[in-house]
């Protein structure tokens, strides 16, 4: 679990070398202005606004255009300070008392100033003061809250995270109002200085897990974090595995539910995707709907999902193995029609399957990247070319088309894209094995996958739990989704320090019976 720390090159911050960043502010306003200007040399979006407080004291307001609320600056800061009602020269504290704002912080160094300016908080500097004031007036254009496209639900909340960290935090806080929802803030990225929040619920999440997440995040030294995917790859357990070891979601309800299981949520500024750790294989088969629909339906759908997961990985290989090695397994009538359909096909079953699967993947990828209006064209082309023309031309057998289509649909049933794509990928080596050694190769492929999954861990939690190692109590939420009145306990491996989620025996029944 603990990787041996390799000796890394010395930390280098190009900006830091630039000079006097950590120096305290000077009492001379002109010198402050000069240094700030030298730091922000060539940044045309930085605005320096000199003015006189009550016509007497020289003052300076520094902010970045577009990050701060200029209307508020005019009405709440400049208007009261420049009014003639103040009749004497005043110091910083008195000035702050005159500003009609709730969020004012004192800054003492240039470093503080830069951080606040970059975050959109205007800095107010005054003559003869070695301190400045950071005004909480950050405001920029943000996307409105919408339903996430990648995780749509039939029943459930229609809100999704946005690119702004503050909004995302507030969405979590609105779901979990308890003060036990704690957050640790850290900044990663020498250039981007991206804010990253580790959210957890005190008393449910394991302290060692929080420490581990913090440790791994602290080790990250990178120039920028533009998406949570950067972080994911830098903190996961096994970097060579195709399987995702952190769950990404756009939905506050999913994040909250996982927080309540004792998991940790990592929010990254600038992306609506938050990371959840630790997760198991079965987490990727739990759609948010499962918990909102009726339990029986959810359970059936979840079992179907897992069944189709097996189909999506093994069906093409099974077809290849059976049609080229074990024809005796196929019922006589079917093998006759299979043989007649394959008569004109020039390829072996393996080549046929590989070609078709690759074409299918290409179609899927093409449809994904194109604009929505053109995307429909791809599916038409795909359906016509692959579905019909290829069969008529005798390049592939119709049976293979059916197999590829079922496989495709099956892989789309996995609610998480990251897991689905991993499973689609491992289909190819298994096809090769099945094409060379038949069902024996298929069995070997299955064994290899299972062994790999058995070795995998996500932040100390075995990837295949609760199946292997078997945790009987957690089975209630793995293959099936038990009714809410049975989901009394949290997941053992993440929430064992606060075992009970609800009062027992809540099965509804008539009174006095």
Partner 1 sequence: MHDKGRITAYQMALMIYPTIYATAVLMVPEITGQYVGRDSWAAPILGSLNGFFTAYVLYKLHKMYPNESLIQYSKHIIGPFLSKILGLSYLFFFLFMCGFILKEYYFFIGISLLPKTPMIAIIGSVVIMASLAITGGVEVLGRASQLFIPIFILPIPIFTIMLLKDFDPKNVLPILEHGLLPVLQGAAAPQAWFSEVFLISMFLPFLKDPEKGLKWSFISVFAVMLSLVSLNLLTIFLFGEMTASYTFPVFKAVRFISLSDFFEHLEAGIITIWILGAYIKITVFYYALVLGNAQWLNLSDFKPIVLPFGLLISLFAIWEFANLQEQFEFSKFIFPFYVPFMLTVLPTILLIIAKIRTRNTMKKEPPRISNY
Residue 350 beta carbon to partner 1: minimum distance, rounded to whole angstroms: 16
Cα torsion 116, 119, 120, 122 to 10°: value is 0
Q: Among 35-43, 174-182, 320-328, 348-356, which window interacts with partner 1 (CB under 8 A)?
A: 320-328
Partners of 123 in the beta sheet? 62, 134
Stretch that binds partner 1, among 60-68, 98-106, 351-359, 467-475 (CB under 8 A): 467-475
Indicate the residue among 129 and 236 with the shorter CB distance to partner 1.
Answer: 236
> Counting contacts by CB under 8 A, is residue 337 touching partner 1?
no
Quick note: the x/- pattern for partner 1 over 74-93, rule CB under 8 A, is --------------------
12 φ, ψ (degrees, to nearest 5): -130, 125
Angle at CA of residue 457, ends 453 and 461, nearest 5° = 120
Closest distance of CB 329 from partner 1, Å: 5
Q: Does residue 231 contact residue 192 with C-beta atoms inside 8 Å?
A: no
CB of residue 279 vs partner 1: minimum separation in angstroms? 17
Where in 129-148 is the site for partner 1 (CB under 8 A)?
none
Contact set for partner 1, span 423-452 (CB under 8 A): 437-440, 442-444, 446-448, 450-452
Contacts of partner 1 in 147-176 (CB under 8 A): none
Q: State which of residues 328, 346, 380, 510 lies at the interface with partner 1 (CB under 8 A).
A: 328
Contact yes or no for 48/62 (Cβ under 8 A)? yes
Q: Which of 108, 326, 369, 499 binds partner 1 (CB under 8 A)?
A: 326
In sign, the C-alpha dihedral spanning 77, 80, 83, 89 is negative
We find the least distance from the C-beta atom of residue 293 to partner 1, in angstroms, to be: 28
Is residue 469 part of the contact set for partner 1 (CB under 8 A)?
yes
Asked whether position 455 contacts partner 1 by CB under 8 A, the answer is: yes
Cβ neighbours for 121, distance < 8 A, ≥ 6 positions apart:
63, 68, 105, 134, 135, 136, 137, 138
Asked if residue 329 binds partner 1 (CB under 8 A), the reply is yes
- Distance of closest approach, residue 402 Cβ to partner 1, in angstroms: 17
Interaction of residue 467 with partner 1, rule CB under 8 A: yes
Q: Which CB, 215 or 470, lies closer to partner 1?
A: 470
Which residue lies nearer to partner 1 by CB, 85 or 333?
A: 333
Among residues 220 and 439, whose Cβ is nearest to partner 1?
439
Instruction: Single out the segment in contact with partner 1 by CB under 8 A; choices: 81-89, 149-157, 324-332, 355-363.
Output: 324-332
Nearer to partner 1, 135 or 338 (CB): 338
Write down the least CB distance from residue 133 to partner 1, Å. Answer: 56
Least distance from partner 1 to the Cβ atom of residue 335, Å:
11
Burial 455-470 (b: 16+ CB within 10 A, else e): ebbbbebbbbbbbeee
Angle between helices 398-412 and 332-342 (to 10 degrees): 100
Separation between Cα atoms, residue 91 and residue 106, nearest integer Å: 13
CB of 333 to partner 1, least distance (A): 8
Helix/strand/coil (H, E, C) string of 196-255? Answer: EEEEEECCCCCHHHHHHHHHHHHCCCCCCCCCHHHHHHHHCCCCCCCCCCCEEECCHHHH
CA of residue 222 relative to chain centroid, distance: 18
Q: Is 145 or 475 the residue whose CB approaches partner 1 more closely?
A: 475
3-state secondary structure of 421: helix
Q: Is the Cβ of residue 146 or residue 326 nearer to partner 1 in the bound state? A: 326
Token pair in block for residue 342: 């394959």
Nearer to partner 1, 359 or 432 (CB): 432
CA distance 50 to 33: 10
Contacts of 56 (CB under 8 A, 6+ apart): 88, 89
Among left, alpha and beta (phi > 0; psi -120 to 50; other), residue 99 is beta
Q: How far apart are the first and last CA of the chain?
A: 54
**CB nearer partner 1, residue 122 or residue 462:** 462
Asked if 470 interacts with partner 1 (CB under 8 A), we say yes
> Among 92-100, 421-429, 459-467, 503-511, which window interacts with partner 1 (CB under 8 A)?
459-467
Count of residues of this chain found to bind partner 1 when the rule CB under 8 A is applied: 26
Query: Measured from the CB of residue 439, what is the shortest distance to partner 1 in angstroms?
Result: 5
- Identify the residue among 331, 346, 508, 510 touching partner 1 (CB under 8 A): 331
The helix/strand/coil state of 382 is: helix
How many Å apart are CA 303 and CA 308, to the nearest integer? 9
Beta carbon nearer to partner 1, 80 or 462 = 462
Stretch that binds partner 1, among 117-125, 131-139, 328-336, 424-432 (CB under 8 A): 328-336
Chain centroid, CA 226 distance in Å: 12
Q: Which residues bind partner 1 (CB under 8 A)?
A: 325-326, 328-329, 331, 437-440, 442-444, 446-448, 450-452, 454-455, 462, 464, 467-470
């Amino acid at each position: 679990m603990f990787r041996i720390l390799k000796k890394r090159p010395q930390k280098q911050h190009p900006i830091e070398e630039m000079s006097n960043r950590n120096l305290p502010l000077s009492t001379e306003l002109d010198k402050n202005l000069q240094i700030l200007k030298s730091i922000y040399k060539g940044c045309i979006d930085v605005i320096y606004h000199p003015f006189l407080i009550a016509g007497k004291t020289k003052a300076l307001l520094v902010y970045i255009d577009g990050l701060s609320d200029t209307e508020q600056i005019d009405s709440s800061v400049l208007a009261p300070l420049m009014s003639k009602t103040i009749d004497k020269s005043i110091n910083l504290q008195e000035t702050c008392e005159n500003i009609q704002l709730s969020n004012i912080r004192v800054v003492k160094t240039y470093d503080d100033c830069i951080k606040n300016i970059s975050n959109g908080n205007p800095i107010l500097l005054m003559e003869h003061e070695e301190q400045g004031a950071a005004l909480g007036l950050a405001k920029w254009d943000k996307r409105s809250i919408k339903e996430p496209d990648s995780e749509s639900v039939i029943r459930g909340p229609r809100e999704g995270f946005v690119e702004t960290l503050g909004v995302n935090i507030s969405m979590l806080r609105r779901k979990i109002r308890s003060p036990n929802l704690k957050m640790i803030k850290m900044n990663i990225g020498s250039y981007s200085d991206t804010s990253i929040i580790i959210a957890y619920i005190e008393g449910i999440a394991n302290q060692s897990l929080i420490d581990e997440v913090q440790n791994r995040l602290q080790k990250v030294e990178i120039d920028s974090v533009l998406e949570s995917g950067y972080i994911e790859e830098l903190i996961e357990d096994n970097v060579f595995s195709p399987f995702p070891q952190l769950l990404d979601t756009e939905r506050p309800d999913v994040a909250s539910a996982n927080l309540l299981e004792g998991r940790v949520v990592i929010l990254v500024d600038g992306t609506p995707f938050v990371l959840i750790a630790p997760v198991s294989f079965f987490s990727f088969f739990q759609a948010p709907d499962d918990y909102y629909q009726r339990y029986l339906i959810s359970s059936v759908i979840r079992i179907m999902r897992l069944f189709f997961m097996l189909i999506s990985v093994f069906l093409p290989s099974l077809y290849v193995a059976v049609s080229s090695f074990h024809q005796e397994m196929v019922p006589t009538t079917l093998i006759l029609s299979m043989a007649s359909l394959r008569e004109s096909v020039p390829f072996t079953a393996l080549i046929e399957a590989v070609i078709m699967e690759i074409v299918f993947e290409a179609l899927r990828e093409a449809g994904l990247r194109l604009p929505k209006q053109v995307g429909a064209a791809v599916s038409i082309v795909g359906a016509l070319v692959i579905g019909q023309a290829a069969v008529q031309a005798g390049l592939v057998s119709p049976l293979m088309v059916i197999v590829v289509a079922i496989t495709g649909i099956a892989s789309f049933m996995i609610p998480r894209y990251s897991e689905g794509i991993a499973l689609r990928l491992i289909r190819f080596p298994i096809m090769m094995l099945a094409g060379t050694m038949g069902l024996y190769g298929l069995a070997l492929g299955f064994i290899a996958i299972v062994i790999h999954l058995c070795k995998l861990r996500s932040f100390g939690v075995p990837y295949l739990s609760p199946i292997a190692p078997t945790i009987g109590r957690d089975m209630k939420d793995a293959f099936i989704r038990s009714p809410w009145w049975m989901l009394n306990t949290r997941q053992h491996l993440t929430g064992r320090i606060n075992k009970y989620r609800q009062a027992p025996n809540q099965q509804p029944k008539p009174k006095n019976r």
